[in-house]
Chains A and B, each alone.
Chain A
Amino acid sequence: MGLSDKIYKYIFMTVALSSFVFLIGIIIVLFSEGLPVLSSTGVMAFIFGKSWYPTSTPPEFGIFPLISASLVVTLGAMVVAVPVGIGSALYIHEIAGVKQKMILKPVVELLGAIPSIIFGFFGMLIVAPFLQDLLHLSTGQCAFTGALILGIMAIPVLCSISEDALSVVPKSYREASYALGANRWQTLWKVIMPAAGSGVSTSIILGISRVMGETMTVLLVTGGAAMIPKSIFDPVRPMTSTIAAEMGEAAVGGAHYHALFAIGLVLFLITLMMNMIAEYISRKYRMKLGQDV
Chain B
Amino acid sequence: MKANSENSQKLGFLLLFVCIIIALLALGSIIYFIASNGIKAFSWTFFTDIPRKSMTAGGVGPAIVGTLYLVLGSVLFSLPLGVITAIYLCEYSPKNFTLNLIRMSINNLAGVPSVVFGLFGLAVFVKLFGFHVSILSGSLTLGILILPGIISASYEAIIAVPQSTREASYALGATQIQTIKKVVLPAALPGILTGMILAVGRAAGETAPIMFTAVTFYSRSYPSSVMNEVMALPYHIYVLMTEGTHPEEQKLIAYGCAFILLILVLAVSSIAIYLREKQRRKYV
Contacts and interface: CB of A to CB of B under 8 A. Distances in A.
| Chains A and B form a bound pair | yes
Interface of A: 1-2, 4-5, 8-9, 12-13, 15-20, 22-23, 25-26, 29-30, 33, 83-88, 90-92, 94-95, 104, 106-111, 113-122, 124-126, 152, 155-156, 159, 183-186, 188-189, 206, 209-210, 212-216, 219-220, 240, 243-244, 247-248, 252, 260-261, 264, 267-268, 271-272, 274-276, 279
A260 B110 CA distance: 22
Contacts of A117: 205, 207, 234-235, 237-238, 258, 261
Interface of B: 5-6, 8-9, 12-13, 15-20, 22-24, 26-27, 30-31, 33-34, 80-81, 84-85, 87-89, 92, 94, 98, 101-102, 105-120, 122-124, 127, 144, 147-148, 151, 175-177, 198, 201-202, 204-208, 211-212, 234-235, 237-238, 241-242, 251, 254, 258, 261-262, 265-266, 269-270, 273-274, 277
A18 B85 contact: yes
B47 to A, nearest CB: 18
A110 B270 contact: yes
Nearest to B151: A19
A189 B241 CA distance: 45
19 contacts: A13-B92, A15-B81, A18-B147, A19-B105, A94-B13, A95-B16, A109-B269, A114-B27, A114-B266, A115-B204, A115-B205, A119-B30, A121-B241, A125-B241, A155-B23, A219-B238, A240-B208, A243-B115, A247-B119
A217 to B, nearest CB: 10
- Scoring A26, A155, A189, A220 by chain B CB atoms within 10 A of each residue's CB, the highest score goes to A26
B239 to A, nearest CB: 11
Nearest to A211: B113
B202 A113 contact: yes
Contacts, number: 255
The 9 A-B residue pairs whose C-beta atoms are closest, nearest first, are: A115-B205, A213-B113, A87-B19, A185-B9, A275-B111, A16-B88, A215-B208, A91-B16, A20-B105
B116 A213 contact: yes
B5 A183 contact: yes
Which of the listed residues B102, B112, B151 has the most CB atoms from chain A within 10 Å of its own CB? Answer: B112
B88 A272 contact: no
A119 B29 CA distance: 11
Nearest to A22: B144
A95 B208 CA distance: 39
Given A113-B269, A247-B122, A276-B108, A19 B175 contact: no
Contacts of A215: 113-115, 207-208
A19 B147 contact: yes
A29 B270 CA distance: 36
